[in-house]
Amino acid sequence: MSPTFKPLKIGKIEIDFPVVLGALAGYSDLSYRLICRSFSAPYCTTEAMLDHQMLLENKLRRKLIKLDDADHPVAGQIMGNDPAVMAQAAAALREMGFDVIDLNFACPVSKVVSKKRGGFMMGQPDRALEIVRAVLRRIPDRPVTLKLRRALHESDETYEDFWKIARGAFDAGVAGICVHARSVDQKHGGRADWEFLSRVKSDFPDRTILGSGDVHTAADALRMIRQTGVDGVIAARGAIGNPWIFRQVRDIAAGREPCQPDIDEQRELIARHFQLACEIYGPRRGLKIMRNFGIHYSRMHPHPAKVRMACVNIKTENDWTALMTTYYADRDSGHHPYG
Ligand SMILES: Cc1cc2nc3c(=O)[nH]c(=O)nc-3n(C[C@H](O)[C@H](O)[C@H](O)COP(=O)(O)O)c2cc1C
């Protein structure tokens, strides 16, 4: 590995490469985490889960909380606004086997923010820190990290609340923060402010800082580390449908040409993902998951628009099989109209 790209440390956990899979609602589920691991993703985070749901033994919790021996180290992400409930949820995740507990103070989705959760906390530093302290008291033996945005509003020029949360959290003992360099207002639009990441890292030179925002390719991930000095980077939208990104970052860091999957590799991977999703969630939900992912995998295909349209129209497993046969057929089968 090039000296610029050092392993990442979260508490006592050492992660051998500093580009990891971020939390992605609807995407960073166990099936996709295992797919990304097979391309050497060294660390993954679940999607954000509501704190109180972690305390109920029900179907939704069983669906969200799926772990596998091959899926470590892994962070479980929770969001909420009551320190006591967040602390209980963190303890529940520790019992289930999560290696790191990540607190989400970043989610910009209106129905989350209006319920005073997620990104809402970026404007409530005192409350946010109460939550942090309650969680740390409850699980002193497990690393706790935060997902933050650079500010709540676009107009927050001083970012005062950000610094208050970040400083208070490090003083309280969090193991690291991941900063999405957009404001909550920005949601996922506009540009991420990488300059802000540089400032965060220079303010906390000895702390673990992960950066997030506008990492579309493997080259972007490594550029963020070089340009801003952050200790690690999360691949988010850039990783949806491109698990190869985790191999590509290692290729580039080692001075090799980054691998580009051909149609045979794409077929093999998509088939494996389909099988995993069906094994983990059953055939109905597995098919739904793959329809969603298929749309993203289509970006790699020589005819993305056609594959995307075929994915959108999938209703049955037969539709799926027909799509695979039409667009991802094995060259050796002699049927390869689109490869
Ligand atoms: C579909 C989608 C779902 C997301 N879900 C979560 C989530 O559950 N928890 C979280 O902390 N961030 C979530 N994020 C934010 C990403 O982790 C990441 O910070 C953001 O997309 C910025 O990175 P990017 O511009 O490289 O995609 C989500 C983003 C997207 C696009």
pLDDT digits (tens, 9 = 90+) for 154-197: 877 668 999 999 999 999 999 999 999 999 999 999 999 999 99
Both 187 and 298 in one domain: the answer is no
Measured distance between the N- and C-terminal CA atoms of the chain, rounded to whole angstroms: 34
> How far does the centroid of ligand 1 lie from the alpha carbon of residue 44, in Å?
13
For residues 156 and 291, membership in a common domain is answered with no
Do 176 and 166 form a contact (C-beta atoms < 8 A)? no
3 belongs to a structural domain? no
pLDDT computed for residue 230 by the predictor: 98
Are 224 and 271 in the same domain?
no
Ligand 1 neighbours, Cβ below 6 Å, are 22-26, 47-48, 77, 104, 106-107, 147, 180, 188, 192, 212-215, 234, 236-238
Instruction: Give the ligand 1 atom nearest the CA of 48.
Output: 8
The per-residue pLDDT for range 26-77, each reduced to its tens digit, is: 999 999 999 999 999 999 999 999 999 999 888 778 777 889 999 999 999 9
Determine contact, residues 338/301, Cβ cutoff 8 Å.
yes
Q: Residue 298: give the domain boundaries.
A: 263-333
Gap between the Cα atoms of 272 and 308, Å rounded: 19
Q: What is the CATH number of the domain that holds 60?
A: 3.20.20.70
pLDDT in tens, 123-146: 999 999 999 999 999 999 999 999
Residue whose CA lies nearest to ligand 1 atom number 2: 24
179: β partners: 148, 211
Q: Domain tally for the chain?
A: 2
Whole-model pTM: value is 0.96
pLDDT averaged over every residue in the chain: 95
CA-to-CA distance for 14 and 319, rounded, in angstroms?
43
Report yes or no: 78 and 50 within 8 Å, Cβ to Cβ: yes
pLDDT at residue 273 tops 60: yes
Q: Which protein residue has the closest C-alpha to ligand 1 atom 18? A: 236
Best of 77, 105, 237, 240 to mutate for ligand 1, by most ligand atoms within 8 A of CB?
237
Backbone dihedral angles phi then psi of residue 332, each to the nearest 5 degrees: -70, -20
